[in-house]
Chains A and B, each alone.
Chain A
Amino acid sequence: MSTFDHKVLVVGSGAGGAMAAYTLTKLGHKVLLLEAGRDYDPKKESPMFRRNNEAPLMGAGNKDKNFGFYDATIDGGWQVPDEPYTNAKGTDFYWWRARMLGGRTNHWGRYSLRFSEHDFKGKSQDGNGADWPFSYDDIAPWYDITEELVGICGTNTGLDDMPPSAPGVLQPPPTPRIPELLIAASAKKLGIAAVPMHRAVLTRPRDDRMACFYATPCGHGCSIGAAFQTTTSLLPMAKATGNLEIITDAMVKSVAVNDDGKVTGVTYIDKQTVTEKTLTADIVILAASACESARILLNSKHAKHPKGLANSSGQVGRNLMDSTGAWLGAQIPALKGRPRYNEDGHTGNHLFIPWWGHKAHAKGELDFPRGYHFEISSGFNQPGSGVSGDKRGYGIALKQQVRDAYGSYVGFALRGEMLPNDDTYMEIDESVKDKWGIPVSKFHFKWSDRELKQIEHGLKTAKQILENMGATIGELPTAEKAISKGGEIIHEVGTTRMGSSAKDSVTNQWGQTWDCDNLFVMDAGVFPSNPHKNCTLTIMTLAMRNSTWIAKQIEQGAL
């Protein structure tokens, strides 16, 4: 390390950290990146083409591998060994982490929808939450560059909730499957469009990465680089510049600051030797995930920063949001025993239902703010430990029931926008430390009536779409019952939000903390709101835009 004279230190190798490292190293700046988990190489470690029967427990999930044996997540999940968190009384928050190079990008759903003008200026429209400190037009060109680099398949649909990408940016999406086509027709009868999903999956080759060969779930990791993860793209590309060094198993504890409010470096625990180490840097970028970066800041106390670093506004840890989630599904009798063909596709949604309610909002027809979308579950999936069907009796008649039922179920996964509220935030639990001696996060979480009304609307809509297809839906669950638990959708954002004023936000529009001008945040913590459209694409786009701004500041001598 002694010969590597880094200018910037980045904490975290997921969507934000890897994009920051990529952007800065490409612009000629030396970056040292710290990752709390172990090194990971998807080329060697992805279980491609493995069948469920080759895995313990037919691949089913458990406390060690929450999303199943083959899920790419390593040393992670709802609980991380030796790294607890606590919940306030009455809170049941779930905090997903992945301790591995590339973080959660190794297993994410790859859904990559742009936020639209409505999303950046929500408060101006309905008075709720906070506006972003820039508009859609400011970020649109950065979405284009990011989408082209990452490789996003999809189409410009022309719908108001899906702003178009520049011509030639999107790669062609895969053709829809039968249940998706049936759902599209059923939804259209209600005036609701189903359209190609945008996904970070290559359908055409790019640089060293191959195009998708339409097999083996993206969530297992992708050895050919078709499904985007930073470990097969941004990180090796950044390394190839010669300007990037990575230290894995480096769990950052705190950011060091001098009396002038200048950040001087970080303190981390080397997990291999369980020793505390310090590193200096001219510029520090936190991209450890929304709640982990906020935890680091709150744990970085200094005489001049008694509430934690960059927290003069008191907003660090506040404004925590997840996406709302709910699910409604049913068997479609008409799909029973349907003709077989290979429905793997790119293993995610080929079609989905984007939010259709902007016009209804404008007319004041909805009793909840903001929106949601539906992801579709359906298809001839690879059989695993669970088998669908009535399952009456035994023998050949029973087997026939299972064959008939195969591929006849469809479901709608609602993903919606949550608004910030005063009862939902994270803080430090001073009474509990993790194995590394670092005080842990403590969560407070509550849904408000705004989210519950949205869920109610979503369930009713999903029921109508299902009934149009001949499904029998009983009484709907209450919204309180149907809504996901906080954190369960794994879209935590907002804990270090950006804004236009140092009074009510943690960073400016560049992710630069108001209190320390050489300290930046580049994960979803900076989101002032949590649009329903999955956070990762915008994390990467912001990290690219804001790292480019940092490079300019360095060149101008401002940093």
Chain B
Amino acid sequence: MHNEDRVDSYKYISGMTRRESLKWLGLLAAGSAVSLSAGCSKALEETISDKGHWPDLDLQPITAKGYGTDPNMVMPPQSPWPLTLTQAQLNLVAVLADHIVPSEGNNPSATEVNVPSVIDEWVSSPYNGQQKDRVTILHGLAWIDDEAVLRYKAPFVALKKEQQTAILNDIAYFDNETPPQFQRIGNAFLRFKNLVLGAYFCTPQGCKDIGYLGNVPIAGDYPGPTDEARAHLDSILAELGLTEYAYQDSVAS
């Protein structure tokens, strides 16, 4: 057995099919007692305290140019700037993204609609907001691997699914009650989660999942709410005691 090869050979590839994606996740769940050369990030051992650990990454600023003030909007640029995530980071993003958005019925998982590539484009972008996210997310990713090594002696992608969820359960419910050692990562993971959700739901498949039915041309007048939607409104108005104030169209339709 060459578990290390198996881990190394898990590779997030943009455009991965559903079957391939499932295969990789299955492999990852199976890959448990993996020995790894990748250790904890710099100075991890010394920084653990009751406030937890936090990686100390030396990130070089992104110096690429933006797409400018007059990009082609009809054919948007496909690679507006060089991508910067390493394959290992991409793999971790992919595994995390599929925990956040797994496949569900006919709805694809995050990796099936290339969410990791969107995250890569986002954190590689030269704009201020994205540069800030880059710092948050790259530190968050490093923390997750550090935590995985501290708890289970292997990086996150190589952990069993229940080990992965044990870590996620500590960091994915960030609020004021979150224990101090998970505050910082909780906040960072929330930002990451937001981007993954955004990247998933803005795809055609994600739009279908959330129920966005627009962006289609309509011949004639705008039809407005369906009967079902109007009935629902009537029930809300009644519930809120607003029925007598219901909007009356002043123009005969």
Q: A64-B66, A69-B76, A391-B197 are in contact. Are A383 and B207 (CB under 8 A)?
A: yes
A136 within 8 A of B: no
- Give which listed residue, A45, A49, A468, contacts B215 with CB less than 8 A: A49
Assess whether B240 is in contact with A470, with CB atoms less than 8 Å apart: yes
State which residues 226-249 of B face A: CB under 8 Å.
226, 228-230, 232-233, 236-237, 239-240, 242-243, 245-247, 249
B100, B122, B217: most-surrounded residue (chain A CB, <10 A)? B217
CA distance A7 to B176 in the complex (A): 70
CA distance A386 to B190 in the complex (A): 12
What secondary structure prevails in chain B residues at the interface with A? loop
Residues of A within 8 A of B168 (CB): 394
Q: Which residue of B lies closest to A186 (CB)?
A: B242
Q: Which residues of A contact B221 (CB under 8 A)?
A: 172, 174-175, 203
The majority secondary structure among interface residues of chain A is loop
Q: Quick one: CB contact mask for A399-411 with B, threshold 8 Å, 1 for yes?
A: 1001100100000
Contact of B245 among A176, A188, A343 (CB under 8 A): A188
Task: Check A344–B121 contact: CB distance below 8 A.
Answer: no
Stretch at the interface among A53-61, A281-289, A486-494: A53-61
Contact of B247 among A55, A185, A386 (CB under 8 A): A185
Determine which of B229, B240, B249 lies in contact with A341 in the assembled complex, contact meaning CB atoms within 8 Å.
Answer: B229
Please encode chain A, from 70 to 85, with 1 for each CB lying within 8 Å of some chain B CB and 0 for all others: 1000111100110000
Let me know if A366 is at the binding interface, CB within 8 A: no
Q: Bound state CA distance, A56 and B66, in angstroms?
A: 10
Does A334 touch B at the CB level, under 8 Å? yes
> Which residue of chain B is the closest to A44 with respect to CB atoms?
B74
Chain B 203-232 interface 0/1 with A at a Cβ cutoff of 8 Å (1 = within): 110110111111111110111111011101
**Cα–Cα, bound, A395→B109 (Å):** 10
Most buried by A among B66, B68, B221, B228: B221
Q: Which residues of B contact A55 (CB under 8 A)?
A: 73, 76
* Known contacts A215-B216, A382-B214, A394-B172, A176 near B224 by CB under 8 Å: yes
Give every chain A residue within 8 A of B101 (Cβ-Cβ): 395, 398-399
- Contact present for A178 and B173 (CB under 8 Å): no
| Residue from the set B122, B172, B214, B243 with the largest chain A CB neighbour count within 10 Å | B214
CB of B69 within 8 A of CB of A385, answer no
B232 touches A339 (CB 8 A): yes
- Shortest distance from the beta carbon of A346 to any chain B beta carbon, whole Å: 7
Q: A64-B68, A178-B233 are in contact. Are A56 and B203 (CB under 8 A)?
A: no
Complex Cα gap A490–B99 (Å): 43
Q: Are A185 and B245 neighbours in the complex by a CB distance under 8 Å?
A: yes
Quick one: which of B147-192 are within 8 Å of A by CB? 168, 172-173, 175, 190
Q: Are A51 and B204 in touch, CB under 8 angstroms? A: yes
- Asked whether, in the complex, the Cβ of A383 is within 8 Å of the Cβ of B201, the reply is yes
**CB proximity to B under 8 Å, residues A319-340:** 334-335, 338-340
A403 touching B224 by the CB < 8 A rule?
Answer: no
Residues of B within 8 A of A184 (CB): 245-247
Task: Looking at the assembled complex, report how far the CB atom of A555 sits from the nearest CB atom of chain B, in whole angstroms.
Answer: 42
Question: Across the interface, do A157 and B250 meet the contact criterion of CB distance under 8 Å?
Answer: yes
Complex: A496 Cα to B176 Cα, angstroms: 53
A binding-site residues for B, Cβ under 8 Å: 38, 44-47, 49-60, 62-65, 69-70, 74-77, 80-81, 155, 157-158, 172, 174-178, 181-182, 184-186, 188-189, 194-196, 203, 212-216, 220, 334-335, 338-346, 351, 380-387, 391-396, 398-399, 402-403, 406, 468-470
The contact sample of 8 A-B pairs, CB cut-off 8 A, is: A47-B74, A49-B217, A64-B66, A64-B68, A69-B71, A178-B230, A386-B198, A394-B100
